[in-house]
Amino acid sequence: MATTAFSQAYGTATVQLTVDAISECVDSRALPPLTVLDRDEESAHRDLFLLNEPEYQGCTFTLRNLWPSEQSWLYLDDTGLHTHAIDREHESIAFMALSQVQVELIMDCDTDSTRSKRSVNTEPRLDHLGPYDYGDSTWLLGNTISHNPRRGIFNLIVNDINDNAPIFVGKEQEPIVVAYPIAELEERILPRALAEVEATDADVGENAAIVYWSREEVLAVSPHSGFVHVRNNARLENNTRLTILATDLNGHEQGLTASLQLLVKLIDTSHIAVITVQNAFLDDEKYIVGNLSASVGYEVKVLKSTVISEEITSETDETRSKRQAILSTGASLQLYVYGLLQQEPVDVQRLTEDINVIETVSIADIISLEDHLENLQICPSPGRDIALLVSTIVLSVLLFILIVVAAVWYFLRWRKNRNYEEFSDEASLGTRSDSPVSSPKPESFPKPRINIEDLKKSERRLQEMLQTPVEEVTVEPVAVPKPVESKINIPEAPIVIQSIDKLKDADESEEEDVFGERARDKRKSVVTFNENVEKIIHVEDPPDDSDFEVYRL
């Protein structure tokens, strides 16, 4: 059983011990049957096991390699078992799921006399074998250990440290040349990515977990797949150099970083060819491109790839053989490719001529991108045209219905407003002449808010004044002179009220309104009075009901 120091997680491993020999010793000195140690790589470690203890005096020790059989890292001296600096990336232990070194320590004493006893179970164990065969076991701790007090197994696990930076594939050919279509062509073919980069790390575990990134503002890099994309609305210039970075430790700031430079070449329709490969899918892209590059003698790269279905008629199904029917997948892979020779794009005419003579790839058709785009315009897809026509008709009908509904609604609303205006009170002549002028509303002023604190202060001051003793004041009588009366004769002026009827002499004219009634103009009077009038009371005579007639419309 093993337990971690911090998280206290534990694991168990089963070890089978069989008796291989019985030692008859006069003392109790013995070696531990199994010792498991772990140490970091790239550093020397001493005193893995001490042999200069008093209990081991008079004994000699021998070291035998178990795995790897030719290792020289672990060694013995007079003091004990030690190790030199171990490189975990060494080919003898680098491929192991858990890199480890195993040795056997044999102790011989002068007083030992040994008799051997064979194990009862002589059949070899095969249940420990697995996909990774490290000689006779996938996990060295699972080996059968022969029990002997004078022998001990020491298993040293080599811990990996982050001492190796990532390495980009193709770094030796830096800068890596990649092509990208010009801005006018980019929208028509829409490349899958600018490039796909890959890096490896000699470490294991988290030390080899790589994250891709870039400081370039025009690029967007997928952190795990390594696809390099051009951002929206970004424009690349010809012969632009871009830097891609890869950091281990999952991109941690303490991780090691490697860089790779890309050289961008802008291409147009004169450099791009469209290849159709029969019975192929996206999984076959790398294999096809590798064969094309090896056959033409220069590098062939892909801008875009799509899978298109093939139309197979019934006559073809009847004539082709059973083997052809099995091998045919009913789909083809269409590749938009370009060539690079000495870091320069290859002309499309030469590219198509070189690929046409290749026999290792089942190429159904190869044409230039310019011809491919012309064919798309001349021979459009019938299904797409029918769908476009149907959608156009439906939208036209819906638009016509909306226009008709809007026109009817507007006409009804206009007609209703017109009838209302003809028979409204505002349209009558009498109403327009008799309508009083609306008087303006008086302004409302906000009520002043009473300050409670000031009111309390005033009340306290008043109470203090009332509680203050009042001094007695002696008032002496003073003779007041008697007022002298005088009489003034004021002549009595008569109160004159003058009423002038300005409309008295006006001609009484009668006009008929829209309802055929005769309306008389109201008579207006002007009254003047002098300043001695204090109050005027105006009393109207109640109207005589006989002078009015009520009409119901």
pLDDT per position as a tens digit, 540-553: 555 555 554 554 44
Percent of the chain with pLDDT over 90: 39
The backbone torsions φ and ψ at residue 275, rounded to the nearest 5 degrees and listed phi first, read -110, 135
- The Cα–Cα gap between 165 and 200 comes to 9
Q: How many C-beta atoms lie closer than 10 Å to residue 249's C-beta?
A: 20
Helix (H, G, I), strand (E, B) or coil at 322: helix
Label the pairing between strands 45-50 and 34-40. Answer: unpaired
- The Cα–Cα gap between 262 and 240 comes to 8
- Of 91, 119, 116, 101, give the one whose Cα is nearest residue 48: 101
pLDDT over 50 (residue 9): yes
Q: How confident is the model at residue 147 (pLDDT cuts 50, 70, 90)?
A: confident
Largest CA distance in the chain: 171
- The Cα–Cα gap between 19 and 500 comes to 151
Position 467 scores a pLDDT of 77
The backbone torsions φ and ψ at residue 317, rounded to the nearest 5 degrees and listed phi first, read -65, -35
Residues 434-472 as b/e (b if ≥16 CB within 10 A, e otherwise) read: eeeeeeeeeeeeeeeeeeeeeeeeeeeeeeeeeeeeeee
Which residues pair with residue 436 across a beta bridge? none
Tell me the two tokens of residue 452.
């409670």
Write out the DSSP string of 480-501: PPPPPP-------PPP-EEEE-
Which amino acid type is present at position 250? Answer: N
> Residues 205-263: pLDDT tens digits?
889 999 999 999 999 999 999 999 999 888 999 999 999 999 999 999 999 999 999 99
Mean pLDDT within 127-133:
41
> Residues 69-103: pLDDT tens digits?
888 999 999 899 999 999 999 988 888 878 899 99
Position 136 scores a pLDDT of 46
Helix (H, G, I), strand (E, B) or coil at 13: coil
CB 162 within 8 A of CB 208: no
Question: With the C-alpha atoms ordered 245, 250, 253, 258, is the resulting torsion angle positive or negative?
Answer: negative
pLDDT over 60 (residue 289): yes
Helix (H, G, I), strand (E, B) or coil at 474: coil
Residue 171's Cα: distance from chain center in Å?
Answer: 31
Position 45 scores a pLDDT of 95
> Residues 513-526: pLDDT tens digits?
555 556 555 555 55
**Residues ≥6 apart with Cβ < 8 Å to 221:** 212, 213, 214, 227, 228, 229, 244
CB 251 within 8 A of CB 271: no
Burial of 245 (0-12, 13-18, 19+ CB in 10 A): buried
* pTM value surpassing 0.85: no
Position 96 scores a pLDDT of 83
Percent of the chain with pLDDT over 70: 63
Tell me the two tokens of residue 110.
């002068």
- The Cα–Cα gap between 327 and 321 comes to 10
pLDDT over 50 (residue 475): yes
Cα-Cα end-to-end distance for the chain: 111
Q: What is the CA radius of gyration of the chain?
A: 56
Residues 206-223 as b/e (b if ≥16 CB within 10 A, e otherwise) read: ebbbbbbbbebebbbbee
Helix (H, G, I), strand (E, B) or coil at 289: helix
pLDDT over 80 (residue 507): no
Which amino acid type is present at position 125? Answer: R
Q: How many C-beta atoms lie closer than 10 Å to residue 25's C-beta?
A: 14
Q: How confident is the model at residue 109 (pLDDT cuts 50, 70, 90)?
A: confident
Q: What is the mean pLDDT of the chain?
A: 77
- The Cα–Cα gap between 189 and 373 comes to 10
Q: How confident is the model at residue 315 (pLDDT cuts 50, 70, 90)?
A: very low
pLDDT over 70 (residue 124): no
Position 190 scores a pLDDT of 86
- Torsion of the alpha carbons at 424, 427, 431 and 435, rounded to the nearest 10: 90
Write out the DSSP string of 514-536: TTS-EEEPPP--EEEE-TT----
- The Cα–Cα gap between 97 and 100 comes to 9
- Strand ranges (DSSP E) for 205-270? 211-213, 219-221, 227-230, 240-247, 257-267
> Residues 170-204: pLDDT tens digits?
998 889 999 999 988 988 888 999 999 999 999 98
pLDDT over 70 (residue 150): yes
SS (H, E, C) 166-190: CEECCHHHCCEEEEEECHHHHHHHC
Is the pLDDT higher at 325 or at 68? 68
CB 73 within 8 A of CB 132: no
Label the pairing between strands 167-168 and 2-3. Answer: unpaired
Helix (H, G, I), strand (E, B) or coil at 353: helix
Position 123 scores a pLDDT of 42
- The Cα–Cα gap between 155 and 158 comes to 10
For the chain, domains (ranges, CATH) are 13-159 (2.60.40), 162-267 (2.60.40.60), 269-312+325-385 (3.30.70)
Helix (H, G, I), strand (E, B) or coil at 67: strand
Tokens 């009423």 sit on residue: 499
Position 502 scores a pLDDT of 47
Tell me the two tokens of residue 334.
């269409």
Question: With the C-alpha atoms ordered 423, 425, 428, 432, is the resulting torsion angle positive or negative?
Answer: negative
pLDDT over 70 (residue 433): no
Helix (H, G, I), strand (E, B) or coil at 317: helix
pLDDT over 50 (residue 148): yes
